[in-house]
Structure 1
Amino acid sequence: MADKNLTCKDCGATFVFTEGEQQFYAEKGFTNEPVRCKECRSSKKAQRNDGARRPSGGFSNNRGRSSSFSRF
């Protein structure tokens, strides 16, 4: 295996898919090469996680109801 130059599908930048990364992908059974550069992957991941981190307006009190304070 040798390093490969790939083009990011989001920003069009060229990035290197290293020999080590290719070995890692093969060991994990991944068959597709990456399509985004590191910066675009990080940005996309942050966008996905942003929805999961929005506050719910309180927290569960273990009875299926939401509360803005805890019962001790």
Structure 2
Amino acid sequence: MADKTLVCKDCGKEFIFTEGEQAFYKEKGFENEPQRCPECRKARKQQYNNNRGYRR
């Protein structure tokens, strides 16, 4: 496995899907690569938590 460059579906920015992250995804049984960059994933998770009434 080698690092992959992916494009975020939200912001369009390129991000690196590292070899270590790929191994983690495989270990967890995830079949799809991430669609969002780390910043957009964090923002989406925060928005979800805010809509659910959680505070983090």
TM-score, normalised to structure 2's length? Answer: 0.92
Runs of 4+ in 1 over 3 A off after TM superposition: none
Matches within 5 A, 1:3-18: 3-18=3-18
- Give the secondary-structure state (helix, strand or coil) at the position aligned to 1:10: coil
User: Which residues of structure 1 form unaligned runs of 5+?
Assistant: 55-72
CA RMSD, aligned part only? 1.0
Structure with the larger helix share:
2
* Length-normalised TM-score, structure 1: 0.72
Q: Percent identity?
A: 63
Unaligned residue ranges in structure 2 (runs of 5+):
none
Structure-to-structure mapping, 1:1-72, within 5 angstroms: 1-53=1-53
Higher relative contact order (CA 8 A, sep 6+): 2
